[in-house]
A and B are shown apart, each in its own frame.
Chain A
Amino acid sequence: MVSLQIRQVYFSYLNGMVLHNIDLSIKGGEMVGLLGPNGSGKTTLLKLASGILKPAQGEIRLDGSSLSQLSRKSIARNIAVVPQQFHIPFAFTVGEVVMLGRTPFLRALAEESEADRRVVNDALELVGIRELKERRFDELSGGERQKVILAMALAQQPKLLLLDEPTVHLDIAHQMEILELVRGLNVGQGLTVIAAMHDLNLAALYFDRLILLKEGKVWADGAPNQVLTEAGISEVFSASVRVEPHPVTGVPHIVVMPKGSAIKRQ
């Protein structure tokens, strides 16, 4: 299990989007959801956590070693990233795409070993797409592709998995399937997970800890029932909602409230 310490991190893009003094400590084995409106800095924070952006100030440490001191290769042996979607311009098969997850472990001229093939098969098995192995990646549906990308990330055998709105383009069944898989790995193998999430209700259901960002600052950080409050959501998202306990699990459940003339009653 690895931990991630984000210490007094500042970051700004040329276009002015910024992160202010982010100070977070993610313990090994935690499953953390990042919430916030568009442009609040979720994706930027994930890119900083994966080391492909460098903080302007402050430091990010992976189990005590500073990310900026680590090579891409050693970061990739610890951290895997699942973005919203990948476009692959060439006709790779699913098996070949998942094998790309072994890249950080391969020497330039070496062939993949039996062990690498086993890792790939296990990842396909785990995600439940073994039968897709010989199919072409570019011929799959969005939900299937996202599972392939997840399998590729798992083939990296990461200790920390970062997901950037992994379910945003998927239908509800695929959304739940992906989140349940990730949750299972978190509980079963102690995989540390940080995911930017769009859907507050899904975030409440599957994550232990939620971090709410507003305009590049941490606005709230804690268990779902501490973070997802009516006052908090209406302040951060400027949306009028009601929060009720989920009828089965009891976690906060957000009910969106339409305004004035838009209200329809049955």
Chain B
Amino acid sequence: MPIKLRRRNKLILVLLLLGGSLIASLFLASAFGAVAIPLPDILRMALNKVAVFDFPATWRTVEETIIFQIRLPRVIGGALVGAALATAGVLFQGLLRNPMADPYIIGTSAGAALGATIAMLLPINVAFLGFGLVPVAAFCGALATVFLVYNLARVGGKTPIISMLLAGVVVSSLMAAIMALLISISDRLQLNLHSVFSFLLGHISVTGWEQIAVITPLVIGGIIVARFFAFRLNALSLGEEGAAYLGVEVERDKILILALGSLLTAAAVSISGLIGFVGLVVPHAVRLSFGPDHRFLLPASALGGGAFVIIADLLARTLMAPVEIPVGVITAIIGAPFFLYLLRRTRKEYAF
């Protein structure tokens, strides 16, 4: 059937295109930095590593070290962060029926930041699976906040979207206040002000492959599991009642989707701190270009999110080199006007 072929072809074509740009941005971002390394060299190095190729080394050993020990982990980390945040954005937006519900709006951000701040306050320094205590605490904080917000918003066995957004805003403010208090009274934190600062503004702090090895299965697994919810997220566009009429077990799936979205956000936050707006800009751009069907929106946003953060991080590293701008600043400069534009354009629909 022509329609079927058209839809399938479009889907495959766009996913290939997005996948291609993800890989292209991976190489591009690896090439630039304090030392510029030519793309063909990187390609040959990579092929030597992964396959039976054996290109003669036209590069210095130190360049190979830079690529494999410094840039590639960071760039791949960026891809994972972007994919996780964009997928979490799609999940939260689909569930809350609000195209502006970025992972940060429903409290994940504040929870992660408070968890991280508390960890920085503690006078212990333990490592857990290649992470310090800080990212693990961020992870717990994100999950705890989402469930706190969810339970606060629950009224008579239901979770109305509006009360959820309000609870998210209020809980976020409280967490931010506690965090500010802790930072201002703590000697230890003031000593560590730089790391607090870069965590809050978003900075892809991957120092080796161990962290990548830990978050890769979380992010890839999360993205695959998210795909199982595509039909249900489509049905949830009709609202909770409408979805229930179509056979969705709404209360159960809501918890699963929230947990999955928090897991993805926390995985991202644990290596990057708070990068905002990725989960907002990327899914919206995909929806605008290819429609809101979650079967397509989910994988396309994951790929697009990966490419987006890689490029944003490349800009962060190179725009004002040798000074490194936090990547969260770049995504906010792109994302905040975009959020305002969306707010303006849809203000009638959200006048509750």
Q: Are A103 and B291 in contact (CB under 8 A)?
A: no
Which A residues are closer than 8 A to B by beta carbons?
14, 50, 52, 71-77, 79-81, 83, 86-93, 96, 100-101, 103-104, 106, 108-109, 111, 114, 117, 156
Contact A75:B247 (CB < 8 A) given known A83-B242, A114-B1: yes
* Chain B: minimal CB distance from A52 (Å): 5
Minimal beta-carbon separation of A75 from chain B (angstroms): 7
Per the bound structure, the CA–CA distance linking A90 and B290 in Å amounts to 12
Contact between chains at B247 and A73 (CB < 8 Å): yes
- B349 and A89 contact, CB distance less than 8 A: yes
Fill in one digit per residue for B195-238: 1 if any A CB lies within 8 Å of its CB, else 0: 00000000000000000000000000000000111111011011
Q: Which of B98, B228, B237, B291 contacts A108 (CB 8 A)?
A: B228
Leading 10 A-B pairs by shortest Cβ distance: A76-B247, A104-B247, A90-B292, A73-B247, A103-B246, A81-B245, A108-B228, A89-B97, A103-B235, A72-B247
Alpha-carbon gap, A88 to B233, bound state (A): 12
Chain B interface residues (CB < 8 Å from chain A) = 1, 3-4, 97-99, 156, 227-232, 234-235, 237-239, 241-242, 244-250, 287, 291-293, 295, 349
Complex Cα distance A75/B293, Å? 24
- The answer to whether A50 and B291 touch (CB under 8 A), given A14-B156, A89-B98, is no
Give, as a whole number of angstroms, the nearest-CB distance from A110 to chain B: 9
Contact (Cβ within 8 A) A109 B247: no
A7 to B234, CA, bound (A): 35
A105: min CB distance to chain B, Å: 9
**A89 contact from B3, B237, B291, Cβ within 8 A:** B237
Which of chain A's residues has its CB closest to B156's CB?
Answer: A14
Task: Report how far A232 CA is from B245 CA in the complex, Å.
Answer: 34
Instruction: For A79, list chain B residues within 8 Å (CB).
Output: 245
A103–B99 contact, CB under 8 A?
Answer: no
Q: Are B244 and A86 in contact (CB under 8 A)?
A: no
Q: How far apart sit A245 and B8, CA to CA, in the bound complex (Å)?
A: 58
**A77 CA to B248 CA, complexed, in Å:** 11
From A162, which residue of chain B is reached at the shortest CB distance?
B245
Residues on A with beta carbons closer than 8 Å to the beta carbon of B99: 89-90
- CB contact between B287 and one of A52, A83, A90 (< 8 Å): that residue: A90
Residues of the A chain whose Cβ atoms lie less than 8 Å from the Cβ of B232: 103
Distance in Å from the Cβ of A140 to the closest Cβ of chain B? Answer: 15
Minimal beta-carbon separation of B293 from chain A (angstroms) = 6
Q: How far is the CB of A264 from chain B (nearest CB, A)?
A: 39
Q: CB within 8 A of A92: which of B4, B229, B237, B248?
A: B237
Q: CA separation between A55 and B37, bound complex, in Å?
A: 70
Give chain A residues whose Cβ lies under 8 Å from the Cβ of B227.
Answer: 109
Chain A residues whose C-beta falls within 8 Å of the C-beta of B3 in the assembled complex? 117
Which residue on A lies nearest to B248, using beta carbons?
Answer: A72
B246 & A96 in contact (Cβ 8 Å cutoff): no
Q: Are B228 and A109 in contact (CB under 8 A)?
A: yes
Q: How far is the CA of A96 from the CA of B4 in the complex (A)?
A: 13
Q: In the complex, which residue of chain A has the Cβ closest to the Cβ of B97? A: A89
Most chain B CB neighbours (cut-off 10 Å) among A73, A90, A106, A156: A90
